[in-house]
Amino acid sequence: MSKLGNLGARLYRGEVGYDFIGKRKIWYGISILITITAIVGLAVRGLNMGIEFSGGAVFTTPKTAVSATEAQHKAEAAAGGHQAMVQKLGGGALRIQISGLDTKQAVPVQEELAKDLNVPVKQVNTQLVGPSWGEQIANKAWLGLGIFMVLVVIYLAISFEWRMAIAALIALIHDLTITVGVYALVGFEVTPGTVIGLLTILGYSLYDTVVVFDSLKEAGKDITKQTRFTYSEIANRSINGTLVRSINTTIVALLPVAGLLFVGGGVLGAGMLNDISLALFVGLAAGAYSSIFIATPLVSDLKNSEPQMKALAKRVRAKRAAAAAKGASEEDPQDGVAVGTSGAAEGDDAAVVGPPAQSATRDRGRGRTSGKRR
């Protein structure tokens, strides 16, 4: 952990770093490929809408020795061909969802299931869900998502600038698209828990992005008054300076969610945990990725299109070229060692690259004994 802390400190001070901005086209290509895969999966397979959205009946049985696959066949046969989904709950119980059933059809299906699964009829709990309820949830979720997006854009535009607001919005859409695409590819059921998970990841997705943006805003003050760094380089330093923090917070957030997904949902068989935890797990990972590889590089691209930033980049290149030419002209042709002043740029941006040279007069008295000069 101490090594990681030292690495974080060196990244923050700019002593080491990775060129995220310079390789942004690679990250864009990876994101486009993942997004296209998610959209294709969504178009081909579609979302497995839960009973809350499609309407139907939910039967919860006590402990039974019948497997989930066998119970699915029996449930579809009892329902006259209606599609059924079976989930294994803790203690050997089953949760059977059958879409398209109404009140009159649910009672005989309940009796048939109790007979096939060899359990008492009274112990089979039946719940009916109308499709209008699910439609209301979906409409409210879309409304909440739209309001959230608008408020986020307004807030970021006021607190930072409109370029950062646009980049954050694109990153949010990127994260949501990937999460929904994973749901389509995996085939997990979309329930109200899924909607809760999707709305929750929006805040997590923005967290790392705002941290990087805040660092970039602070480092970018009066940027045009210096000629040491371009805007892209300052953006890259901001990413590197917050990189370890982003990794740590993401891992800490993913660990309990992974516990819900793989232990709570996989081992205990809790269906609602699967719905929430999968959305959170994918959304957190995608949000950490987009804040580093998508949002900040997009801000850099948008900012570099400004005339002021183009002029700054030109001045930085000219100064570095002049410093390099000056260093080459002062190089001793016999041994190739630079003499005189260093080749670093002069002015406010000059950096000390070594210990200052000692004056020759300071060494004149060395090696003499103390006392008056004879």
Domain spanning 15-48+133-310: which CATH class is it, in words? mainly alpha
CA 118 vs CA 58, 124, 232, 251, 282: distances in Å: 18, 11, 68, 46, 39
Do 156 and 164 meet the contact criterion of CB atoms below 8 Å apart? yes
Residues of the chain with CATH 1.20.1640.10: 15-48+133-310
Q: What tens digit of pLDDT does each residue of 53-106 get?
A: 777 888 888 888 788 888 888 888 888 877 787 877 767 788 888 877 777 778
E strands, the chain, where? Answer: 48-49, 56-61, 84-88, 94-99, 125-129, 189-190
Do 233 and 297 meet the contact criterion of CB atoms below 8 Å apart? no
The pTM for the full model equals: 0.71
Residue 221: what are its φ and ψ, rounded to 5°?
A: -65, 135
Q: Please say if the pLDDT value at position 256 is more than 70.
A: yes
- In this prediction, residue 359 carries a pLDDT of 40
Residues of the chain with CATH 3.30.70: 56-129
* Residue in 123, 126, 120 with CA at minimum distance from that of residue 97: 126
Q: Is residue 164 very low, low, confident or very high in pLDDT (cuts 50, 70, 90)?
A: very high
Do 118 and 71 meet the contact criterion of CB atoms below 8 Å apart? no
Cα distance between residue 198 and residue 134, in whole Å? 16
Q: Which residue in the block uniquely carries the two structure tokens 């000629």?
A: 227
Rg for the chain, CA atoms, rounded = 31
Measured in whole angstroms, the distance separating CA 148 from the mean position of its chain's CA atoms is: 18
Which CATH number among 1.10.287, 3.30.70, 3.40.5, 1.10.530 corresponds to the domain 56-129?
3.30.70
* Residue in 132, 143, 168 with CA at minimum distance from that of residue 153: 168
Q: Tokens representing 88? A: 């294994």
Local structure of 231: helix, strand or coil: helix
